[in-house]
Amino acid sequence: MTASMKPRALLSVYDKTGIVEFAKSLDSLGFELISTGGTARKLQEAGLTVIGVSEVTGHPEIFDGRVKSLHPAIHGPLLARLESEEDRNGLAELGYGPISIVACNLYPFTDAANQEPKLDDPDLLEMIDIGGPTMVRASAKNHRNVITVCNPDNYAKVVEELHSAGSYESVSLAFRQQLALEAFEHTAAYDAAISDELHARWIGRAESFADKSEQEMRLPNALIASAAKLHTLRYGENGHQSAALYIDPKVIGTHSTLVTAHVEGGKQMSYNNYSDADATLRLCRSLSTDEWPETPHACVIVKHNNPCGAALGKTQVEAYEAALASDPESAFGSIICFNEPVDVDTAKAMEPLFIEVLMAPGYNEDAKSIIMQKKNRRILTIESPNNRLAPLERILVKKPIEGGWIVQTEEAPIIDWTKAKVVTKAEPSQAQIDSMKFAVRVCEQVKSNAIVMVQGTATVGIGPGQTSRVEAVKIAARRAGERAKGCVLASDAFFPFKDGLEQAANAGASSIVQPGGSIRDQEVIDAADELGVSMLFTGHRLFRH
């Protein structure tokens, strides 16, 4: 092995988009091309002269290509500090020529992990790249001497910089650092995807995890998150804050999530739009189940992260009108979500209302034309199986705090209604229990302290985000007005004093569902009995902070 006098570029990519054009540009600039496997074959088929990695290392690829580039003849040049005379002399003594450019991207592990049917473990593990990340990290570490490019979108920029600088040695440090940072982000995201997938597959499956509790197994030992920036948003919650939208690699190429939804109409979605839309979609998914077969259509209206109306209906327009009636004043400038494609009747009913964002699994063409007559109205299409929103799935929610993070699972509450306990002399009717099931599902998505009043399967008054539970009751009752008479009321946590229950009964609530668990439960139960209100304890608190 002898050192080449020409600058060298090492090209080894899984995603071969643009690699031939990039290689031709490097060849025209006098670079000697080194490559591996499929990349080498593609370049040779394009008429380029390529030196195989095995020729450089003097060692054949082994184990079906598992080991190709892991050799000092590759990593010595990648890591040599050319500003150091000792390193330069060491390369010369070994006969290794410097490598000035590395183009490398990795096996698509996320695509393999998402493949249906699922790959078994041995096949999935074959999609974990070893040599690629090592080359990327080595060249990025030594970016003062090696230009690292792992995104095909940057090939043209590298060629432009080479032309502009006049030589690879003269390419600016700032540009090299930009590419090196992208390279480290690339490998970090790759490792995060692997750890997330293997945690999901392995935790609780093997005997080695038998000593972990259920709570421990549901959460990873290390919080490793990775997401790619889709675009910068205009600003954050307020004008002085910066914001951007990031995407989970697992959902790239789909339109089944909020981030990947197809967006049409109006101006660009803002930080607040996405935040409110997430709360809206989450509740609508929670209501999009088979629990209410006679009222399959769900409509949710949210303002400032809190529902101001939610309803199920026999028809979509019935659900919309019931949800709107819950708090029509707050619904101005709201975000609305339906669990099924929007039809013409609903589109006509929504015409007078100012809506920031509308979400659904689809839109009837005539309905879409009506909706889009308002030029600033944005509509999002959330692709869903059978054109019906999929139910809420468990996810991990991460909240930063000073010095770290707190993490929890986000999922619909699982309440065993056969074990729920009627604690009052009066018993709720079956119709009231059915309303309780709906009320609890809505209440779980309202900021605490939360009170939800419902009639049937529609909210009539919501008291969100109060520091006092009795104040939350007052707000819900004020919004419900006369519709509070005979309503079912859900509380996200126990009543600490009887005053909250008394306020509810005075407003007209006839039946109450709450978790129970207060040291004054009996006092609250006695008050309910005096007022003739039925009450059921679920044993499940539903705080949302």
Q: Which amino acid is at 71?
A: H
Contact status, residue 375 vs residue 265, Cβ threshold 8 Å: yes
CA distance 124 to 238: 44
H helices present in 29-154, as ranges: 37-45, 53-57, 72-79, 85-94, 109-113, 121-125, 131-141
SS3 55: helix
CA distance 374 to 362: 18
Of 199, 304, 348, 374, the active-site residue reads 304
Is 437 known to be catalytic?
A: no
Name the nearest CA neighbour of 350 among 381, 383, 326, 328: 328
Burial 321-357 (b: 16+ CB within 10 A, else e): bbbbbbbeebbeebbbbbbbbbbbebbebbeebebbb
Q: Which amino acid is at 418?
A: T
Residue tagged 């750890």 (tokens)? 195
Is 304 known to be catalytic?
A: yes
Q: Which amino acid is at 487?
A: C
CA distance 322 to 367: 20
Of 16, 24, 59, 141, the active-site residue reads 141
Residue tagged 């090209």 (tokens)? 11
Rounded to the nearest 10°, the torsion over CA 524, 529, 533, 534 is: 90
Burial 495-529 (b: 16+ CB within 10 A, else e): bbebebbbbbbebbbbbbbbbbebeebeebbebbe
CA distance 256 to 386: 12
Per-residue tokens: 286: 């929670």
Q: What distances in angstroms separate CA 450 from CA 468, 486, 504, one per listed residue? A: 9, 19, 13
CA distance 477 to 451: 9
Q: What distances in angstroms separate CA 515 from CA 92, 390, 538, one per listed residue? A: 76, 27, 5
Cβ atoms < 10 Å from Cβ of 244 = 12
CA distance 445 to 278: 11
Residues composing the chain: 545
CA distance 384 to 381: 9
CA distance 80 to 145: 8
Per-residue tokens: 486: 């005979």
CA distance 76 to 509: 77
Q: Where in the sequence numbering do the catalytic residues fall? A: 141, 304
